Structure 1
Amino acid sequence: MIVVPKNKGAQGALDTDSAESSDLLEYSLSDTEFDVLREQGLLDAINDSGQCNVDDYEDDAIVRRQLLENVVDRLQEFDGVVAQEATGLLRVLRFLFIEAIERDTGIFFYF
Structure 2
Amino acid sequence: MKYISVPTSQDAMQRLDFDESIEGDLIEVTINDELFQAIINTGIISQLNQFIEVNIDEFEDEKIVGIHDLTMAKSILAQLSPSDFANASLLVSQIDKAIEYDTGVFFYF
Q: Same fold (TM over 0.5)?
A: yes
Cα pair 2:4 2:107 within 8 Å, conserved? yes
Identity among equivalent pairs (%): 31
Structure 1 window deviating more from structure 2 (46-55 vs 57-66): it is: 46-55
Number of aligned residue pairs: 107
Moved more, 20-29 or 9-18: 20-29
Q: Any conservation in 2 of the 1:42–1:75 contact (CA below 8 Å)?
A: yes
Q: Which residue of 1 aligns with 2:30?
A: 28
User: What SS class does the counterpart of residue 55 from structure 2 fall into?
Assistant: coil
How big is the shift at 1:35?
0.7
> Which residue identity lines up with residue 77 of structure 1 in the other structure?
Q
Distance 1:27 1:81 in 2: 20
Give the whole-Å Cα distance in 2 for the aligned partners of 1:34 and 1:96: 15
Matched to 1:75, the amino acid is L
Q: CA RMSD in A?
A: 1.4
Within a 5 Å distance, the mapping from 1:1-111 to structure 2 comes to: 1-80=3-82, 82=84, 87=86, 89-111=87-109
- Aligned residue for 2:63, secondary structure, equals strand
Offset at 1:81? 5.2
- Determine if contact 1:51/1:67 at 8 Å carries over to the other structure: no
* TM-score in terms of structure 2 length: 0.90
Whether the 8 Å contact between 1:6 and 1:105 is mirrored in structure 2 is yes
Whose strand proportion is higher, 1 or 2? 2
Show structure 1 runs of 4+ deviating over 6 A: none
Q: Secondary structure at the match of 1:22?
A: coil
Residues 63 and 104, structure 2, Cα contact 8 Å, conserved in 1: yes
CA contact (8 A) 2:44 2:76 kept: no
